[in-house]
Amino acid sequence: MERLSVLYASALFDLAKERGDIDGFLAQAKLVYESLQDADCQRILVHPHITETEKRDFFTKAFAESISSDLLGFLFLVADKNREVFLIPALSAVIEKIEHYNNKITAKVFFASELSDDQLAAMKDMLCRKLNKTVEISLKIDPSVIGGPYIFVDGFYLDWTVRKRLRDLTVYMKEGCGA
């Protein structure tokens, strides 16, 4: 499954470069990706009794005014071939490819509670400096971390949470305090 998603993503990326509108294509791909994350959209896409024509109509009504004919054509292709399961992974992969091409990355940051704009800006600035890339932050709230962030960015996982420190302390104490 992953291989076909990567092939789709590569084709979309090449098409965006060929058209000379990488940033526009990125914005459109993000729009479609975020829209299709909705549970109702997912049910429409994978429902076995909804025909390819109905799915094409759905894509047309939802996106025709806001995306290029190339991206809409991709959506039609996926519906025609009954490969809707590859749609989200392919869009995710093309977004990642374009961001990598533009020296941008998205950091998924998990925190116990909302952060202020100043805190988000400071975290973004720190990540930009450390990674030497333009960083966008996708903040997720996870009360189970108790405090501190954990961050997924550019293939790395950083865990500075209270939850992890408590877990580490528990392991340390069970092992006899290092004795």
pLDDT value of position 57: 93
pLDDT of residue 6: 87
Domains of the chain: 2-100 (1.10.520.20), 103-174 (3.40.30)
Digit-by-digit pLDDT tens for the chain (179 residues) are 568 888 888 899 999 999 888 999 999 999 999 999 888 888 888 888 999 999 999 999 999 999 999 999 999 999 999 888 889 999 999 998 998 898 888 899 999 889 899 999 999 999 999 888 999 899 999 888 888 888 988 778 888 888 888 888 888 888 876 55
Complete edge-to-edge strand list for the sheet that includes strand 104-111: 134-141, 104-111, 150-153, 156-159
The reply to whether the predicted model has a pTM over 0.85 is no
Beta strands in 81-127 (DSSP E): 104-111
DSSP assignment string, 22-63 = HHHHHHHHHHHHHHHTSHHHHHHHH-TTS-HHHHHHHHHHHH
How far is Cα 97 from Cα 30, in angstroms, rounded to an integer? 12
Among 84, 101, 95, 87, residue whose Cα is nearest residue 138: 95
What's the rounded Cα separation, in Å, for the pair 89 and 162? 32
Token pair, residue 76, equals 């039609």
